[in-house]
């Protein structure tokens, strides 16, 4: 009898425990997620530093899950934003402009600058003047991306026609940067307008020469190459996560400027993890020298890029009022005793 009473008591205890589970409140809400995009480019060094140094995970804390995605060019990241598969991304100016225009000014906001400089037109050494490009084939990372617009606008200014189908005086072939590296070395293309480190790789490993350093086309050599774009709905729903991200971003920019040698090593190691192989020391050093890291979005250059995209037929005329939302960034800068940035 004692054994039966013990068994019955144990069974009652189990039933009670199960009942208690059934009476509990609704299951805990899933942890919020930040889905972040960036590229394996030196121009995305702020993203790589924030991740490699743990600045972002520290700023977000254990309560936010971080999911990462890498892209070859901006239009791919815009597609992810539009499909609600991405929340924040490091990206160039023209894809951000396109996203703003295509969504009627609703889908995205630019919340910080990241990088200035770091883009060039590299060509075969026999080409020394713009006129010699007539009849050539040049590559860009993707149609409508920042370098693609820069090349088309520059060709137009030089009196060389190009169209969106690859025809004209100069044929433009959008293709991944890794493919451009191979087609340039094989002679299938005669040049490419690309971001770093690809411009330097074409020079040092592809035996090319720089025909246009894009810095020479802008006042004081400053133009936005990379900035931070956020999905507007995410900014409204999770401003605290965006603010945490921006604190890590500002910290990464400060680190890049305060410790460039160490930062360069960290970025190269990060690129190696993404691509399977770090850059040669000579490549990363040369590419680094073309870059300036800043939280200033350099808004005037964004507006000029929009005008250029319109002029080459990639964008209808668009008003960019409202594309920036710098309130969170400026609050962080003010709290740190730094001057605010403007749009």
Per-residue model confidence (pLDDT) at position 145? 87
| Calpha distance 60→42 (Å, rounded) | 24
Residue 22 has pLDDT above 80, yes or no: no
CATH of domain 119-220: 3.40.190.10
**pLDDT: which is higher, 192 or 145:** 192
User: pTM score, two decimals?
Assistant: 0.85
Please tell me the number of Cα atoms within 13 Å of 89 on its side-chain side. 31
For 101-145, the pLDDT digits (tens) are 999 999 999 999 999 999 999 999 999 999 999 999 999 998 988
- Taking residues 251-271, report their average pLDDT: 96
Note the residue count of the chain: 343
- The whole-number pLDDT of residue 142 equals 87
User: What 8-state DSSP symbol labels residue 136?
Assistant: -
136 HSE (CA, 13 A, CB side): 21
Distance of CA 8 to CAs 2, 18, 153, Å?
A: 10, 15, 84
Confidence of residue 15 (pLDDT cuts 50, 70, 90): very low
- Does position 5 have pLDDT exceeding 60, yes or no? no
191: how many CB neighbours lie within 10 A of its CB?
A: 26
Domain ranges of the chain: 33-118+222-335, 119-220
Residue 28: per-residue pLDDT: 58
pLDDT per residue over 233-255, tens digit each?
999 999 999 999 999 999 999 99
pLDDT 10s digits, 42-85: 999 999 999 999 999 999 999 999 999 998 888 889 999 999 99
Alpha-carbon gap, residue 323 to 97, rounded angstroms: 8
pLDDT averaged over every residue in the chain? 91
- Rounded distance, CA 191 to CA 171, Å? 11
Please tell me the class of the 33-118+222-335 domain. alpha beta
Residue 147 has pLDDT above 60, yes or no: yes
**Could you check whether 33-118+222-335 and 119-220 share the same CATH topology?**
yes
Separation of alpha carbons 166 and 306, rounded Å = 21
């Amino acid at each position: 009898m004692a054994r039966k009473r013990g068994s019955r008591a144990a069974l009652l205890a189990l039933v009670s425990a199960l009942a208690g589970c059934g009476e509990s409140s609704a299951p805990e809400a899933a942890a919020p997620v930040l889905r972040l995009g960036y590229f394996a480019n030196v121009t995305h060094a702020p993203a790589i530093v924030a991740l490699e140094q743990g600045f972002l995970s520290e700023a977000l804390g254990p309560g936010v899950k971080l999911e990462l995605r890498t892209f070859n060019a901006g239009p791919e990241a815009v597609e992810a934003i539009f499909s609600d598969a991405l929340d924040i991304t490091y990206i160039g100016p023209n894809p951000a402009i396109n996203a703003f225009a295509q969504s009627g000014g609703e889908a995205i906001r630019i919340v910080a600058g990241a990088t200035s400089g770091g883009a060039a037109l590299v060509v075969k050494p026999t080409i020394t003047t713009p006129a010699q490009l007539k009849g050539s084939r040049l590559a860009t990372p993707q149609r409508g991306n920042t370098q693609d617009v820069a090349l088309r606008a520059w060709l137009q200014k030089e009196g060389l026609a190009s169209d969106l189908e690859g025809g004209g005086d100069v044929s433009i072939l959008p293709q991944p940067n890794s493919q451009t590296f191979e087609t340039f070395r094989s002679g299938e293309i005669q040049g490419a307008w690309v971001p770093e480190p690809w411009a330097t790789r074409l020079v040092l490993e592809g035996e090319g020469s720089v025909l246009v350093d894009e810095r020479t086309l802008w006042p004081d050599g400053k133009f936005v190459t990379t900035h931070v774009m956020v999905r507007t709905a995410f900014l409204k729903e999770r401003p605290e996560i965006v603010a945490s991200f921006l604190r890590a971003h500002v910290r990464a920019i400060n680190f890049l400027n305060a410790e460039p040698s160490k930062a360069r090593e960290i970025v190269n190691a990060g690129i190696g993890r993404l691509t399977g192989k770090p850059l040669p020391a000579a490549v990363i050093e040369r590419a680094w020298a073309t870059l300036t890291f800043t939280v200033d979005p350099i808004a005037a250059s964004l507006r000029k890029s929009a005008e250029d995209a319109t002029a080459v037929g990639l964008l209808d005329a668009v008003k960019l009022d409202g594309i920036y939302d710098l309130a969170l960034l400026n609050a962080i800068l003010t709290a740190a005793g730094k001057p605010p940035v403007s749009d």
